[in-house]
Chain A
Amino acid sequence: MRKFRLLVLILVLAAPGWPAVATAAEERFPAPEFETQYEIPTPAHPHPRQDFFEYLDIAVLLAALGLAAFFAIKKRSRLGLFSLTFFSILYFGFFRHGCICPVGALQNVIFSFSGDYLLPLGVILFFALPLLFALFFGRVFCASVCPLGALQEAVIYKPIRLPQPIKHVLGLIPYLYLGLAVLFASTGSGFVICRFDPFVGFYRLSATPFMLLLGLGLLLTGIFIARPYCRFFCPYGVLLGIFSFFAKKHLSITPKECIHCRLCENACPVDAINPPSPRLYKTSKAQQIKHFGIFLAFVPLILATSGFGFSRLTDVLARQDRMVSLAERIHQEETNVATGNTLDSDAFRQEQTRVEDLYRQAARIRHKFYIGLWVFGLFFGLVISLKIIVLMQRPGRTDYTPDRFHCISCGRCMEYCPVQSDGSVTET
């Protein structure tokens, strides 16, 4: 089996790459026979980055994650985390130019399940390592390794607390974004996360005006609403949140017993500190269970509505696929709905592919979108159902604790806690 896999690997690796100079060359003029000593030069073919750098990136990522976990949990050092943030901006941002980052790697992973695309080792690890660390130490990746987060981390000055309803509604966007990214990656239509990456342009020192403005806008917003991209857009954050929720260890606000001094109450820039929950409830346990049961009965309805609603977007979204829009354009040209040819339709006609094959391919992609949108809808329905169910819970918290899903382990709260690791309390 192993041998067979190797063989497949070799075959796949050998498949692309064109023989020699694959220009559409046609010898209209014969090669000259020089009488002088002229030697035909060889054009330079610059190599891409050395493999060494791929491994270096992985090593640096691993080291940075390890350090972040160390600073957040063992050393409890905000300064350490903050310094690491700067390092990440420099290395993952300005040196490595952001690509491929773990956030975008999510799409490569999805894409590799649906096509002939083989995941490079670096991408596998860039996707999996932050999740692995989240599963053991919480979102230390977000704290100071992610180049997108690091940039926003540097501009948090006057974080305000958003009203709860707004926070919850905006908090739904990452799920939608995640669903959309998975949908586009699995249909092979593109990598939306990368297309709308607001910060990578800063690292490259080159971006389209629109993305530049988006990035600047997010950074300006980030002065008051801390880490807007991480909290209200980042699709990878959803996964990290889930993994972090079931983490073995997690950053804690206080090194010992919480003394309910309330100093940390407003310390969290991303509003991820859960205050103690009420000890007494007016509604009885039986009543709570009854409410819960009633809601559960409605869940299938929520799922079905959401699935059906989103599946209606098939045509709108499928049109974002290049082959589908090309097929539509060609169809319009063939039926004289549109006049004139575009560069793309001209290029298609040069290929001598049959129009029917294009239509069939487009229909296949559209069908993928249809199925994908149903799954998307069901997923979204499930997310809101779970959100409601979580709100129904009675958590039984007695102390101020980090909200493991949303906490990005930045460590600010630790500074506010007057409790020392030996249990003594600093007076202020």
Chain B
Amino acid sequence: MKKKNTNLTRREFIKDLFHKLLLLLLGSFVVSRFFKSAAAGYVWQIDPKKCVKCGRCATACVLTPSAVKCVHAFEICGYCNLCFGYFQPGALRLTADAENQLCPTGALQRRFVEDPFFEYTINEALCIGCGKCVKGCNLFGNGSLYLQVRHDRCKHCNECSIARVCAGRAFVRTPARKATFKNA
């Protein structure tokens, strides 16, 4: 009986030792990482320079429709009458008729401002992030349309399922504080 007791205490002792060891390990991890921590979290962000408009944003996101939408930087827009983001290549007439529009959901909308300028806005409720307009605008126009993650819709998945398949590897984890974009 006595022997058993010492056995027990030895077990208890080892357990206590490991308890302290694990506590030390966890503590030193937290402390060491704490001084190197990023205050706010990260958000996913597309680097428009690397984006190749492959169209996977529309299909790969865990959300339907995708959290990626087309965004318009009005300040570099040419307000063209013939907008390569808006019209089908080879469109016969520059009207808003369905057969002339490039956008598959009619999310890119066109409004006459003054001769010869037209304003193009995006209806985000309709935009599915396919990037067709972005491709057109970048190929022939000023490139004022670009795809970007909308942070109010994005679920901030730890591993972004679009980033995993993004052909241009344009998705970047960006510190949340930096990720407020303003136009120049």
Contact = CB atoms under 8 A, between A and B. Distances in A.
Given A99-B156, A112-B33, A396 B7 contact: yes
Interface residues of B, number: 85
B158 A104 contact: yes
A41 interface: yes
A293 interface: no
A34 interface: yes
A12 B39 CA distance: 12
B52 A346 contact: yes
Contacts of B56: 343
Given A5-B36, A191-B159, A246 B22 contact: yes
A337 interface: no
A23 B174 contact: no
Contacts of B181: 21, 45
A162 interface: no
A97 B41 CA distance: 15
Interface in B1-42: 4, 7-8, 15, 18-19, 22-23, 26, 29-30, 33-42
B107 to A, nearest CB: 14
A147 B126 CA distance: 32
Interface string A171-210: 0000000000000000000110011000011001011100
Interface stretch (A65-73, A127-135, A259-267): A127-135
Interface residues of A, number: 85
B157 interface: yes
Interface in A191-239: 191, 194-195, 200-201, 204, 206-208
A207 B114 CA distance: 46
A31 B174 contact: no
B158 A204 contact: no
Interface string B143-169: 111100011111111110100100111
A144 interface: no
Given A25-B143, A54-B41, A18 B158 contact: no
A123 B158 CA distance: 10
B63 A206 contact: yes
A38 interface: yes
Contacts of B167: 342-344, 346-347
A396 B4 contact: yes
Contacts of B144: 23, 25
A119 B114 contact: no
A350 interface: yes
A32 B178 contact: no
Contact of B37 (A43, A120, A135, A194): A120
A54 B40 contact: yes
B141 to A, nearest CB: 6
Contacts, number: 230
A107 B47 CA distance: 24
Interface string A248-265: 100000000000000000
A35 B172 CA distance: 40
Contacts of A281: none
A200 B69 CA distance: 23
A344 B23 CA distance: 46
B179 A48 contact: yes
B100 interface: no
B49 A20 contact: no
A34 B50 CA distance: 32
Contacts of A243: 22, 26
Output the residue of B34, B36, B51, B146 with the most chain A CB within 10 A.
Answer: B36
Interface of B: 4, 7-8, 15, 18-19, 22-23, 26, 29-30, 33-43, 45, 47-52, 54, 56, 62-64, 71-80, 113-114, 117, 119, 121, 138, 140-146, 150-159, 161, 164, 167-169, 172-184
Given A24-B48, A25-B76, A49-B176, 8 more contacts: A8-B36, A24-B138, A42-B74, A45-B181, A99-B158, A109-B33, A118-B37, A346-B52
5 contacts: A18-B49, A29-B80, A43-B71, A343-B167, A396-B7
Interface of A: 2, 5, 8-9, 12-14, 16-32, 34-36, 38, 40-43, 45-49, 51, 54, 97, 99-100, 104-105, 107-109, 112, 117-125, 128, 131-132, 135, 190-191, 194-195, 200-201, 204, 206-208, 242-243, 246-248, 322, 342-344, 346-347, 350-351, 396
